Amino acid sequence: MTVPGRPATIVIFGATGDLTRRLLVPALANLCFDGLLSEELNVIGIALRDGDDESLRVSLDEFAPQTQCWQRLRQRTSYLPGDFTLGTVYERLKQRLGEDDAAFYLATPPQFFGVIVDRLADAGLTEEHDGGFRRVVIEKPFGHDLESARALNQRILSRVNESQVYRIDHFLGKETVQNILVARFGNAWLEAVWNHRYVDHIQISAAEAIGIGTRGAFYDTTGALRDMVPNHLMQLLSMIAMEPPNSFDAEVIRDEKAKLLRAVRRITPDEARSDAVRGMYAAGQVNGQMIPAYRETPHVDPNTATETYVALKLMVDTWRWTGVPFYLRTGKALAARDTEIVVTFKPVPYATFRETPVAHLPANQLVFQIQPHEGIDLGFLVKRPGPQVEAVPVALDFAYAEKFAVAHRTGYETLLYDMMMGDQTLFQRADQIEAGWAVVQPILDAWARGEGVLEEYTPGTSGPRAADALIARDGRQWHALGR
């Protein structure tokens, strides 16, 4: 039975930003509606903008569901304007909090993460007493490369304990992502074939149909590789490939995920050139809408070499996955919005069908569809009706929206609830963060040296031709986006 969280205060740094208004507050309102928040929960917003309690509440009303529960939570929401790089705002915050349990949510640009944690610790706001809690929730991107991620971890963990840190990845709040663990370890038939003897390869895709839009200043210093691979895609990789845990205890699961990420084979300089593809979208149409070329986007350097697409081939050096390639891809301005994991199984022997009209036997595939339509598809072969034996592919489809009430969720509900309950299962530990960056660092180094071709691709397609060639050279092809 799910129980409400205990009375506490959530302090949101960056309370006037889009993340707070569009995702965090609606998620809190949904949890309130579900009866999963204490009626004594308080929210304190901190930002530089001038204002008072009512001005913050009005700015949040646009995105929060207008329910009685939101009206109750709204009245318990207050505003503390101030510069969160200075100590004065923390002294005022300390007076408001007293000895209350509190979670500090850093919905700010990443350059403020270390500063805020330092200021919180200096003010004594991270000290835990008498069974109470003080937690820090940190958004991505966590670091810019391996060195900066290590430095940020060291800085934060010198002021608070790992048990107090919740490095959040909103992908892990998706129902289908969490269901990977249940599907894998709750179904005997699936775990029996979850190894190199039966699996041919695994694809992990995170595609967006939109371009960069107004995020040019941020994106041009980040790029597709940094933005998505060491965090989102590495987390999906670890969940789909980790070894079975001996329990669903948070640290046990995080141990297995960290072990898997450490087992990803480190890319050599030659492989950084041959097994990593980068692209940049040109001008064109996506879903009937014209978008400018990336280099013509506002706040983007017209001579930039920042990639908007990346595809990788990785290997995992464990007995379970020896010889099984993992193909990862992510990009902007592609044919469809589509985040999925596709497990392709090895084909059955053709000999049985050699006297039939069957010329090709499609491989069985298991597809975890993460967004936009959460579900699971299992593809297998059946006989087409008629006098001849002809095998055709069909699918068993499961859609979350058809079975459960999952509409109007932001993906943060589970993560916020788990954080309030002290469950770190879906949050990244320091060693996981660093292991993810260690995988991509050789590629970043190669690109910094000017190695590798940056290929333009047409918006509304599946990406650069080099990405198709990357997987085709192994006799495979990408799963169609949006399929």
Q: Indicate if 408 belongs to the active site.
A: no
Residue 332 annotated as binding site: yes
| Alpha carbon distance 54, 31 (integer Å) | 22
Residue 122 annotated as binding site: no
Residue 346 annotated as binding site: no
Q: How many Cα atoms are found within 13 Å in the side-chain-facing hemisphere of 332?
A: 25
Residue 20 annotated as binding site: yes
How many residues are present in the chain? 483
- The active-site residue out of 201, 232, 299, 360 is 232
Residue 174 annotated as binding site: yes
Residue 17 annotated as binding site: yes
Distance (Å) of CA 275 to CA 70, 264, 332, 416, 445? 49, 14, 20, 37, 14
- Residue located via tokens 């992502």: 177
Residue 140 annotated as binding site: yes
Residue 334 contacts residue 461 (beta carbons within 8 Å): yes
Cβ-Cβ contacts under 8 Å for 31 (sequence gap 6 or more): 37, 413, 416, 417
Residue 423 annotated as binding site: no
- 3-state secondary structure at position 180: helix
Residue 15 annotated as binding site: yes
Residue 19 annotated as binding site: yes
Helix intervals (H) in 299-399: none
Residue 227 annotated as binding site: yes
DSSP result, 107-170? -S-GGGHHHHHHHHHHTTTT---TT--EEEEEPSP--SSHHHHHHHHHHHHTTS-GGGEEE--G
- Of the candidates 103, 102, 86, the residue with the CA atom closest to the CA atom of residue 48: 86
Which helix (H) or strand (E) covers residue 281, if one does?
Answer: strand 276-281
Structure tokens at 483: 């399929």
Distance (Å) of CA 120 to CA 87, 123, 261, 326, 388? 9, 5, 32, 41, 73
Residue 53 annotated as binding site: no
Structure tokens at 131: 């069974």
Residue 463 annotated as binding site: no
- Residue located via tokens 């029996």: 192
| Alpha carbon distance 349, 344 (integer Å) | 15
| Alpha carbon distance 235, 168 (integer Å) | 11
DSSP result, 405-465? --TT--S-HHHHHHHHHT--TTSB-HHHHHHHHHHHHHHHHHHHTT-S-EEEE-TTBSS-H
Annotated binding site for substrate: 170, 174, 208, 227, 332
Annotated binding site for NADP(+): 14-21, 83-84, 140
Active site residues: 232
Annotated binding site: 14-21, 83-84, 140, 170, 174, 208, 227, 332
